[in-house]
């Protein structure tokens, strides 16, 4: 049997396109906008109060708070605004050490930025007390100084790209445009520092930049597995077609359980319009979602696309907001379509209308079926190549166990193959880098990257060794264990490692450093990059100096 193998980069241009589609409009979620106020009073003393909003905020803190142990300070206990939902709200003040200050060396003195945060009053307890809590509609305003005589702790000067004055950054949720974000910021600043705190004539228009934007839908939990599978397929296609470094993992975060996440700047490979920033797509749920009834919206997951800055160059101007949101909404709606999520699958909550959301027209990328077919054909070639290795049956047996069990952990792979754990980890890591398998969870479970690949792998494994029986697989495992036990006995009898390498056709062995082409620095680099781990490195300890006391 022969398999043609090619390393040519994959091209999707001949299969990608777009077609008009309509989907319920994804809701704008978290967002942030930056402003710069050129409010330095030229007549003010350099190095003291320069008449800026930042100086006013600092004076307020000194007069009203004066000690960080007294933070958060309730600056306004009855804050009202027409953009707030029904409820009782307050603005609280905190401060934090900023990145720049004045002086050098031992005389360096950091400045402190000021933070205004929206809070909601909870119900009274038995003692008539009320607690402040974070509301669903969030607002956080940062107030920072921009003076040319400021330096970083290293002594390097602070860059002031828009001149001197006050830098503002507003973070909020459920705002549909940047002007709404700015309005909320100005309302909060005026409520604390006075009606004349902001002079819009001093605002630098070019400094009005978008640093974050999100769009999402909430959908029925019954479609979660399909959505995760769809997002994982996108990850595989981008990684395979674009050779890009992307992040896809599962972990717990403060906002809840993150089911899947992909971040990349190469979504154009799937047919989306090119962007000069990365886009993150994730599926996540609220904490303790499984304890909530299905009638509770927080029982159900979100599919969200977000933009959070650029690696180089300027942030997008507020005038580009609609383009950013259109891109994020297109990514969300397209993945919903690919996952089979319909209008009836959407779930309404306090801020998202669910099935009642207004229809939204967009251009949906096409060609995904052909892209996946090419991807799976390429993976089939990789599986053939691994299973047909003449020098070892180790990889074949690992693939077979994963296929038989529809996923297996390291303990199962070691037990069923008879291979050393370090050998199993080495081959699994390599197969994951090839995109054949994925490693998920803790303890780690190893899976084929999709159901389609799993079924194809089962066919290939039957083809390459049609005569193989379970008894023969078990015999190979026993032989490997016996070889390792014999090698261990020889090592124990000699009192030290043999000069001969322990590597055979099915084992990953150890070798003296002097015999390797790699240096100790190369080994350290591989360890730092997690290409090898602690099980792959041995150190002779009898010659080491005693530990310091």
User: Mind giving me the DSSP string for 475-529?
Assistant: HHHHHHHHHHHHHHHHHHHHTS--SS----TT------GGGSSS-HHHHHHHHHT
Q: What percentage of the chain reaches a pLDDT higher than 90? A: 45
pLDDT at 519: 59
pLDDT at 497: 46
Per-residue pLDDT averaged across 99-114, rounded? 92
pLDDT at 502: 45
SS3 category, 423: helix
Tens digit of pLDDT for each residue in 149-158? 999 998 899 9
CATH architecture of the region 1-16+367-510: Orthogonal Bundle (1.10)
In sequence order, which residues have a C-beta less than 8 Å from that of residue 313 and are 6 or more positions away? 276
pLDDT at 499: 43
Confidence of residue 532 (pLDDT cuts 50, 70, 90): low
Tens digit of pLDDT for each residue in 301-330? 999 999 877 877 889 999 999 999 999 999
Domain boundaries, the chain: 1-16+367-510, 19-28+213-365, 39-203
**pLDDT over 80 (residue 164):** yes
Q: Work out the number of other CB atoms within 10 angstroms of the CB of residue 284.
A: 18
**pLDDT over 50 (residue 211):** yes
pLDDT at 399: 85
**pLDDT over 70 (residue 2):** no
Secondary structure (DSSP) of 137-195: S-EEEEEEEE-TT-EETTSPBPP-TT-SEEEEEEEEES-SSHHHHHHHHHHHHHHHH-T
In sequence order, the β-bridge partners of residue 363 are: 20
Per-residue pLDDT averaged across 117-132, rounded? 89
Confidence of residue 512 (pLDDT cuts 50, 70, 90): low
Tens digit of pLDDT for each residue in 427-469? 888 888 777 888 877 778 888 876 767 777 788 887 778 777 7
Euclidean distance between CA atoms 508 and 330, whole angstroms: 47
Q: What are the respective helix, strand and coil percentages of the chain, to the nearest 5?
A: 40, 25, 40
Residue with tokens 């994804």: 26
pLDDT at 49: 76
Tens digit of pLDDT for each residue in 471-480? 888 888 888 8
Euclidean distance between CA atoms 250 and 252, whole angstroms: 7
pLDDT at 528: 56
Q: Which two tokens stand for residue 123?
A: 């119900």
pLDDT at 272: 86
Sign for the pseudo-dihedral over CA of 446, 452, 455, 457: negative
Confidence of residue 206 (pLDDT cuts 50, 70, 90): very high
Q: Largest Cα–Cα distance of the chain, in whole Å? A: 92
Tens digit of pLDDT for each residue in 57-92? 999 999 999 999 999 999 999 999 999 999 999 999
Q: Kindly report which listed range (82-86, 175-179, 389-393) carries the lowest average pLDDT score.
A: 389-393
Confidence of residue 247 (pLDDT cuts 50, 70, 90): very low
């Amino acid at each position: 049997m022969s398999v043609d193998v090619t390393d040519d980069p994959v091209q999707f241009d001949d299969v990608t396109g777009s077609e008009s589609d309509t989907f319920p409009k994804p809701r704008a979620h978290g967002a942030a906008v930056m402003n710069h106020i050129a409010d330095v009073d030229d007549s003010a003393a350099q190095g003291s109060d320069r008449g800026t909003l930042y100086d006013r905020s600092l004076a307020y803190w000194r007069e009203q708070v004066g000690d960080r142990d007294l933070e958060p300070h309730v600056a306004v206990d009855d804050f009202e605004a027409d953009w707030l939902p029904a409820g009782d709200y307050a603005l609280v003040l905190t401060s934090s050490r900023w990145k720049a200050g004045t002086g050098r060396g031992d005389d360096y003195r950091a400045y402190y930025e000021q933070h205004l945060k929206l809070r909601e009053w909870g119900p009274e307890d038995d003692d008539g007390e009320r607690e402040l809590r974070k509301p669903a509609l969030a607002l956080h305003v940062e107030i920072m100084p921009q003076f040319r005589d400021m330096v970083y702790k290293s002594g390097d000067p602070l860059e002031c790209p828009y001149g001197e004055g006050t830098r503002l950054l507003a973070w909020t949720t459920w705002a549909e445009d940047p002007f709404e974000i700015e309005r909320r910021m100005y309302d909060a600043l005026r409520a604390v520092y006075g009606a004349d705190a902001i002079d819009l004539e001093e605002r630098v228009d070019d400094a009005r930049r978008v640093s974050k934007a999100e769009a999402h839908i909430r959908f029925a939990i019954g479609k979660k597995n399909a959505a995760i599978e769809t997002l994982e397929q996108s990850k595989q296609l981008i990684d395979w077609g674009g050779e890009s470094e992307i992040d896809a993992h599962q972990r717990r975060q403060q906002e809840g359980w993150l089911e899947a996440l992909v971040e990349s700047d190469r979504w154009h490979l799937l047919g989306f319009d090119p962007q000069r920033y990365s886009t993150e797509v994730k599926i996540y749920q609220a904490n303790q979602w499984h304890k909530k009834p299905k009638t509770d919206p927080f029982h159900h997951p979100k599919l969200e696309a977000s933009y959070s800055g650029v690696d180089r160059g300027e942030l997008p101007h507020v005038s580009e907001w609609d383009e950013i949101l259109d891109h994020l909404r297109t990514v969300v709606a397209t993945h919903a379509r690919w996952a089979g999520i319909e209008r009836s699958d959407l779930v309404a909550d306090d801020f998202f209308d669910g099935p009642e959301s207004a229809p939204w027209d967009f251009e949906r990328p096409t060609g995904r079926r052909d892209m996946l077919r090419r991807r799976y054909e390429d993976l089939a070639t990789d599986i053939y190549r691994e299973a047909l290795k003449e020098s070892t049956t180790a990889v074949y047996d690992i693939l077979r166990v994963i296929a038989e069990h529809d996923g297996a952990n390291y303990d199962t792979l070691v037990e069923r193959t008879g291979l050393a754990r370090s050998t199993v980890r080495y081959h699994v890591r390599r197969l994951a880098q090839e995109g054949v398998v994925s490693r998920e969870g803790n303890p780690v479970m190893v899976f084929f990257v999709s159901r389609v690949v799993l079924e194809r792998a089962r066919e290939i494994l039957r083809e390459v060794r049609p005569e193989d029986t379970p008894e023969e697989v078990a015999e190979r495992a026993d032989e490997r264990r016996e070889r390792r036990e014999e090698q261990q006995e020889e090592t124990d009898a000699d009192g030290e490692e043999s000069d001969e390498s322990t590597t055979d056709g099915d084992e990953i062995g150890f070798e003296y450093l002097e015999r390797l082409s790699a240096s100790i620095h190369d080994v350290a680099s591989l360890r730092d990059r997690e290409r090898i781990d602690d099980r792959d490195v041995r150190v002779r300890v009898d010659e080491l100096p005693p530990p310091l006391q």
